[in-house]
């Protein structure tokens, strides 16, 4: 996935359903892609490392 891609409805834990960026118009941006994890900038401004697992 290219850097800067807008992502929504993100699962924090596999199998628990989407928990981040779920509201209408809310998106997270992919800012880094490293091996089995990705770094996202959330709508709140928080930067979070998420497992791709």
Q: Based on the number of CB atoms within 10 Å of its own CB, is 2 exposed (0-12), middle (13-18) or buried (19 or more)?
A: exposed
Q: What is the pLDDT of residue 14?
A: 87
Q: What is the pLDDT of residue 53?
A: 76
Give the fold, CATH level 3, of 5-51: SH3 type barrels. (2.30.30)
Q: What is the pLDDT of residue 39?
A: 97
Q: State the 10-residue block means of pLDDT for the chain, 53 residues long.
A: 94 90 94 95 95 84
- Taking the domains of the chain in order of start, what are their residue ranges? 5-51
Q: What is the pLDDT of residue 13?
A: 87
Are the beta carbons of 45 and 20 closer than 8 angstroms?
no
pTM: 0.82
């Amino acid at each position: 996935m290219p850097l800067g891609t807008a992502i929504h409805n993100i699962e924090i834990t596999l199998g628990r359903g989407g928990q981040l960026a779920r509201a209408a118009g809310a998106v997270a941006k992919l800012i880094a892609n490293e091996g089995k994890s990705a770094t996202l900038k959330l709508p709140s401004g928080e930067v979070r490392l998420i497992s791709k697992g």
